[in-house]
Amino acid sequence: MQPIRQLERLLEDLATPEHYLFSAADLQGACPPATDSAVLLHRAQKAGLLRRVCRGIYLYPRIDLPRGRVLFHVAALLRAAQFNYISLETALSDAGLISQIPIDRITLMSSGRTNVIRCGEFGRIEFVHTVRRPADVAGQLAYDSDCRLWRAVPALALRDMRATRRDLSLVNPEVAHELV
């Protein structure tokens, strides 16, 4: 059987609405031993079997995607080994403290380095470095199972905004004052 057909069958068996993203390392293990995985992934993209989201992350498009959650799921997969939580403008917008809703960008605090990851049509993920440890903010985080990430409470997100010297002009000052 051709390697692309083997990959197609494997993805049909493995992919679910909860597990539709795959790293290149995940897919490399699915390749037959004598197959160049980079070439196979390129062929799978050309055939429409996979869509490249960003470097090293691929999406299986034959399932229904969770609306508005793809970027969060990619972020969780990209930095699974680091401490990350949704904060800054994303957390404040979701809490109603910022009137504008970011459509194609999410912001997270991360123990990893600061970086913006471009995810094509899905948008961008902005990771902002923090030196805070999980124990320092544990009482101010709640796990968001839809996003598969921790989420900062508004007071922590505001402190993160100030600590990272972000523009606070969009934040509703009356509500922000109540949280401080």
How many angstroms separate the Cα of 100 from the Cα of each of 36, 148, 150, 166, 172?
A: 46, 23, 22, 15, 11
pTM score of the predicted model: 0.90
Domain definitions of the chain by residue range: 3-59, 70-179
Spelled out in words, what is the top-level CATH class assigned to the domain 3-59? mainly alpha
81 has a pLDDT exceeding 60: yes
- The secondary structure of 89-107 as a DSSP string is HHHHHHTTSBSS--SSEEE
Strands 141-144 and 149-152, sheet pairing: antiparallel
H or E stretch at 38: helix 37-46
Spatial distance between the Cα atoms of 31 and 20, rounded to a whole number of angstroms: 18
Amino acid letter at 52?
R
Calculate mean pLDDT across residues 53-73: 91
Question: pLDDT tens, 89-147?
Answer: 999 999 888 877 778 999 999 999 999 999 999 999 999 999 999 999 999 999 999 99
Spatial distance between the Cα atoms of 59 and 110, rounded to a whole number of angstroms: 23
Q: What is the pLDDT of residue 173?
A: 75
